[in-house]
Amino acid sequence: MKIILIAVALVATLTNASKVDYTGHKVIRVVPQTEEQLRFLLKLQEQTYDFWSSPSSLGKPVDIRVSPQRYQYLISTLNKVALNHTIRFFDVGKLIQQEERNVVLRRALHSGRAFDFENYHRYSEIEAFVNELAATNPLVSSSIIGTTYEGRGIIMATLSTGSSPTKPVMYFECAMHAREWVTPATCLWMMNEVATKYGTDAEITAMLDYADWLITPVSNPDGYEYTWTTDRLWRKNRTPNGGLCYGTDPNRNFDAGFGGPGASGNACSDTYHGPSAFSTEEASAFRDVLAANRGRTVAAITIHSFSQLWMSPYGYQNALPTDYAEMFRVMEISVNALTATYGTQFQYGNIADTIYIASGSSTDYAYMGEGVLYAYALELRDTGVYGFELPPDQILVTAIETFNGLKAMAKEIAAKLQ
């Protein structure tokens, strides 16, 4: 009875009346087959439609969320360029409701126990966990690397043996895009694995002996918290744009091809790049971590979802970096280790060709601005079965396979650079 009462109370909290209602919203899929269709979709993306996967090349599926009110208009618009569609999700609202029920049930069953790594958590809970780990584990310290528009501290955990101030650094950031909940869940699990298994797990011990691990579990706290309180599918931060529209996409706000293709100047767009490079606290915090560890940072990994991808620079252009052969070599080893865990298939390659053109990204900046050779962007599970609403029962398998890929990466980097 107690569990039922707790669950009822939590459901009431998560499903408050002020939340954006996605009942009847569909996700449709179109596949551009001609240059005209591709150009049309790129222009359509500049409007206020929510693209769950972006137009990038001929033959590659593009997923778009659309409200019931705009569905018929969108379909008639697509028909003008002979773009047929299929429906991926008939009711996004039902997916969100199911996710809420899953989260609530696990919370009720886990009430009073230790931190639950197989569930999703509010930002205050994440902060509390990182601070507690820092207070109880000598390998871990916590710091605030920036303060958001709404006043939240962007917390980072440093995992270090403390053996040398010149040790290499590997930096991992998660949830730059607010709605990608599985990314902070994955980063928290990895953080705990490294902190608690150092000294007993030979692979983790060697990894941390070689390099300090810096982990920002939520790079966009304002947006992330907003996905809990108001709009589950919010992507950007929460800075006002001087009108009705809020938010800048922090991952289009870096000084790496800033304002180019794959980013929008429309303040209402989900890919709005902001008024200038590093105008967001979120991008600035990432920049400042790399600057503070200049000459030490050997890897910078930004973790997103979904699509099952492992990607390297460049995002702002299709041309390949001069170091691409080495980037690709380590990507391939990493993806093979990830896939060997449960058979999950990842595509890998440069951002522009693997997913889409994206200017102003953290990955390009890490490589172009700070010279970090092993700068990668990951897109975790899945490929669209659940999309952003990945059920809590898939957190652990996602975290384990991702960590296996990153451990293989870290091992290969150490072997190359030592």
- Which residues are marked as active site? 379
SS3 at position 142: strand
Identity at 400, one-letter amino acid code:
I
Structure tokens at 233: 């599918």
CB atoms under 10 Å from CB of 34, counted, come to 12
| CA torsion, ordered 16, 19, 23, 27, to nearest 10 deg | -140
Question: How far apart are the C-alpha atoms of 121 and 116, rounded to whole Å?
Answer: 9
CB atoms under 10 Å from CB of 142, counted, come to 17
Helix or strand run (H / E) with residue 63: strand 62-66
Contacts of 379 (CB under 8 A, 6+ apart): 304, 305, 306, 307, 308, 309, 310, 311, 355
Residue/partner pairs of 351-354 with CB below 8 Å, 24 or more apart: 351/311, 351/312, 351/313, 351/314, 351/315, 351/377, 352/56, 352/314, 352/315, 352/316, 352/317, 352/318, 353/56, 353/57, 353/318, 354/309, 354/311
Cβ atoms 293, 378 nearer than 8 A: no
Residue/partner pairs of 54-58 with CB below 8 Å, 24 or more apart: 54/262, 54/355, 54/356, 55/356, 56/352, 56/353, 56/355, 56/356, 56/357, 57/353, 58/32, 58/33, 58/34
Complete edge-to-edge strand list for the sheet that includes strand 85-89: 50-51, 62-66, 26-30, 85-89
